Amino acid sequence: MIARAESKTTQKSKSLPLVRTAVFLSAILAIQLCVSSCGVKLKTSTEYLVSGNEYFKIGDYRHAELEYREALKQDPKSATAKNNLGVILNELGRYDEAIAILQEAVNADPKNCIARYVLAMALTHKGDFDGAMEQARQATELDPKEPQAYKALGDAAVGKGDVKTAVEAYRSATIVDPTNDATHHRLAEALGQADDVEGQILEENKSLELNPGNQDARIGLALASKKKGDTSEAVVHLKKVLSEDPDNETAKKYLKELDPTAVPAPPSASYSR
């Protein structure tokens, strides 16, 4: 049998996909030629990571996040990109997102100390203190010289009400890095919860030696002095805070409790007829 000749319409419809394919391939070739001739080079995952790190260093978290997300697009399995993105999300207070991506980072690289202690921080903010303590403990085991891992463990322990663990963790952090005034203050607070007033005073003083402008430490020192029964010393510390930070509401509150005459009353509204 002789096959019937196809109509012109049928021939045309069959040729359309071939035409579209040819046009598509031509477009790709044109783009490639343009990129090549114009000297444009697409960034690699590593280059996006480096760029993101530069933004992170200057505190531009929004652009850092964008760069890390681009790095993940280039390399979806990159544990480093997941770690860095998780750190940014935690800094931005987007804890649910941080937990999700940091868990991926930990799964991809179980020995990533940073991912674990930042994950612990995010879990603490969400109230999962047991999960946070587990991650922080593993971080301290992975890198016993990382003060942030001990700090994360201390914060989680405070949230859980485990004062003993908190004191041990913060003390370890101050041993690893004795120059961090904020950690000495956290240790002082934990010692205060453990009713170790002398220890609290010692650590608050260390914090103030490192940073005389740490008003939280000075308020803590005032409260420790009050607890010790030295009200006049507590008042001195609170007045010192207010001399440097007149709008410090916490200092005003405690000073009013200890010495109502020391805090001037707010001016009364005048009434004119």
Last residue of a domain, one of 110, 138, 165: 110
- CATH number of the CATH domain containing 131: 1.25.40.10
How many Cα atoms within 13 Å fall on the side-chain side of residue 244? 12
Average confidence (pLDDT) over 220-248: 95
* The two structure tokens encoding residue 262: 């020391």
* 147 and 210, same domain (yes or no): no
* 131 and 173, same domain (yes or no): yes
Residue 20 belongs to a domain: no
58-82 pLDDT tens trace: 999 999 999 999 999 999 999 999 9
Report the C-alpha gap between 206 and 60 in whole angstroms.
32
| Nearest partner of 61 among 109, 108, 111, 98, judged by Cα | 98
Does 271 score more than 90 pLDDT? no
31-59 pLDDT tens trace: 454 444 454 557 898 999 999 999 999 99
Last residue of a domain, one of 65, 85, 110: 110
| Nearest partner of 47 among 5, 6, 78, 15, judged by Cα | 78
109-138 pLDDT tens trace: 999 999 999 999 999 999 999 999 999 999
CA of 78: how far to CAs of 58, 144, 152, 165, 196, in Å? 23, 25, 24, 34, 46
pLDDT over 70, % of the chain: 81
Last residue of a domain, one of 62, 88, 110: 110
Q: Which of 21-30, 172-181, 187-196 has the lowest mean pLDDT?
A: 21-30
Residue 49 belongs to a domain: yes
Q: How many domains are contained in the chain?
A: 3
pLDDT at 9: 44
* 164 and 215, same domain (yes or no): no
pLDDT at 266: 55
* 188 and 255, same domain (yes or no): yes
Report the C-alpha gap between 77 and 83 in whole angstroms.
11
* 191 and 224, same domain (yes or no): yes
Q: Which pTM does this prediction carry?
A: 0.79
How many Cα atoms within 13 Å fall on the side-chain side of residue 99? 16
Mean pLDDT of all residues in the chain? 87
* 49 and 83, same domain (yes or no): yes
Domain housing 219? 184-263
* 137 and 197, same domain (yes or no): no
| Nearest partner of 105 among 94, 92, 91, 120, judged by Cα | 120
* 129 and 78, same domain (yes or no): no
Report the C-alpha gap between 8 and 50 in whole angstroms.
58
Q: Which of 15-24, 156-165, 205-214 has the lowest mean pLDDT?
A: 15-24
Residue 28 belongs to a domain: no
Q: Which of 21-30, 154-163, 167-176 has the lowest mean pLDDT?
A: 21-30
* 50 and 75, same domain (yes or no): yes
Residue 8 belongs to a domain: no
Residue 33 belongs to a domain: no
pLDDT at 201: 97
Q: How far is CA 254 from the centre of its chain?
A: 30
Residue 118 belongs to a domain: no
